[in-house]
Amino acid sequence: MKKMNQWIVFSLLILIAGCNNSGKLEGLVPASGTATYNNQPVDQATIMFSPKAGETTARAASATTDAKGNFKMTTLNPGDGVFPGNYAVTIEKTETVGEYREEPIPNSDRTKLIDTRQIKDLLPVKYNNTNTTDLSVSISEKGNKEIVLELSGELDLKAKRPDERVRKR
């Protein structure tokens, strides 16, 4: 019986040790900075770092800018950083206009749902696609806390249906 109890305790210890995943990724380094458009801070924009072709250890990361345009990249947990490597950078800020609404179906007591939503790009669209962005960063083994993303160019404020905004990331 004593051996059985020892076996159970040993098994539980192995199980607990195996489940002790801290939720952290090893090898991440800090990556943060500022995003501006026409020399003004970009508030509430989504930034994506996408590993460039051939990067074997890099992994996609994202961030959202604050009111001053500051951001801190996240791979798994908020602000945990990125893996060293070379990244294409996309940045997007949009506004959704329109709504879903119900309309009666003629000669029926039923209704149908109509989607009138459209999306306005509040930054130049070239920055929201890895194939067209000219933004890139290289993150060293020490990280980079001084990334500056300076955006410029013309805006196309025409609202588009979501299916008209096909992007490749």
Give the pLDDT score at 76: 93
Mark the ranges of the chain whose per-residue pLDDT is less than 50.
1-7, 9-20, 168-169
End-to-end distance of the chain based on CA atoms, in angstroms?
Answer: 60
According to DSSP, the residues that pair with 37 across neighbouring strands are 40, 151
Give the pLDDT score at 3: 47
Give the pLDDT score at 9: 46
SS3 content of the chain, % helix, strand, coil (to 5): 15, 40, 45
Q: Does domain 28-93+121-154 have CATH number 3.40.50.300?
A: no
- Structural domain spans, the chain: 28-93+121-154
According to DSSP, the residues that pair with 136 across neighbouring strands are 88
According to DSSP, the residues that pair with 51 across neighbouring strands are 87
Helices and strands: H and E segment counts in the chain: 1, 12
Looking at this protein, which amino acid is placed at residue 143? G
CA dist 141 and 117 (Å) reads 44
Give the pLDDT score at 169: 41
Give the pLDDT score at 93: 96
Give the pLDDT score at 56: 80
Give the pLDDT score at 158: 83
Q: Is 117 within 8 Å of 99 (Cβ atoms)?
A: yes
Looking at this protein, which amino acid is placed at residue 52? K
C-alpha triplet 17, 57, 87: angle, nearest 5°? 135
* Three-class SS state of 126: helix
DSSP per residue over 91-116, as a string? EE-EEEE--EEEEEPTTSS-EEEEE-
- The whole model's pTM is what? 0.76
